[in-house]
Amino acid sequence: MSVETVRQFFAEHAPDVTIEELEASTATVQLAADAHGVEPGQIAKTLAFRVGEKPLLIVASGNARIDNRKIRETFGGKAKMLDAETVMELTSHPVGGVCPFGLATDLPVYCDESLHAFDEVLPAAGSPNSAVRLSPKRLAELVNGQWVDVCKLPESDYLLCSQANAKHLETSIEQYHSGQEKPR
């Protein structure tokens, strides 16, 4: 059972992490976000690809989309999504529950920069109704994930990021002028 391999993984590598199993399916980003009461971007979806002959996993924000140009530049070839049977064979997880934990095969895991937009993300935990809550940093550390920039965000998210960056800059300037922050 796939959730069991994930449970074993966390028992060995991160016993403080709890698997959340829900009655409702969380097989899609929107279903998972609704069930867990978070933004869709906080759902860390795990996508299985083959680039040339090399299978790999990419963990990305739920609202991010793969950018084919960035994939080619990063991995040196075109990425093809793996079919459900191959995903199950390589990961031991069914589609909808695919995650980078407790894998049947030693696959390279890449974490997309889109995850950094959140303090906490929720990747699946081996079944369509399970997940764990982790910081993006801890997620990458647990799976020896390499950080890459291979996704693009919807236009509305670029606006939100720009507004957040502007607010952060405004706060930093105010703190600097009030003497609360020292120049770097």
Domain holding 98: CATH number? 3.90.960.10
What per-residue confidence (pLDDT) applies to 27? 78
Do 181 and 100 have their domain in common? no
Do 10 and 82 have their domain in common? yes
**Which residues are registered as beta bridge partners of 130?**
21
Do 125 and 40 have their domain in common? yes
Do 127 and 183 have their domain in common? no
Provide the residue range defining the domain that includes 132: 2-153
Do 10 and 93 have their domain in common? yes
- Stated as kind and residue range, the H or E segment containing 163 is helix 155-177
Tally of domains in the chain:
2
Do 39 and 91 have their domain in common? yes
Do 165 and 147 have their domain in common? no
Do 75 and 164 have their domain in common? no
Do 123 and 79 have their domain in common? yes
pLDDT at 42 over 90: yes
Long-range own/partner contacts, residues 136-142 (CB < 8 A, 24 or more apart): 136/44, 136/111, 138/14, 139/44, 139/59, 139/100, 139/111, 139/115, 140/111, 142/13, 142/14, 142/101
Do 140 and 163 have their domain in common? no
183 falls in which pLDDT band (50, 70, 90)?
A: very low
Question: Quick one: average pLDDT of 157-184?
Answer: 53
Please report, rounded to a whole number, the percentage of residues in the chain having pLDDT higher than 70: 83
Do 58 and 39 have their domain in common? yes
What per-residue confidence (pLDDT) applies to 119? 97
pTM recorded for the entire structure:
0.83
Do 110 and 177 have their domain in common? no
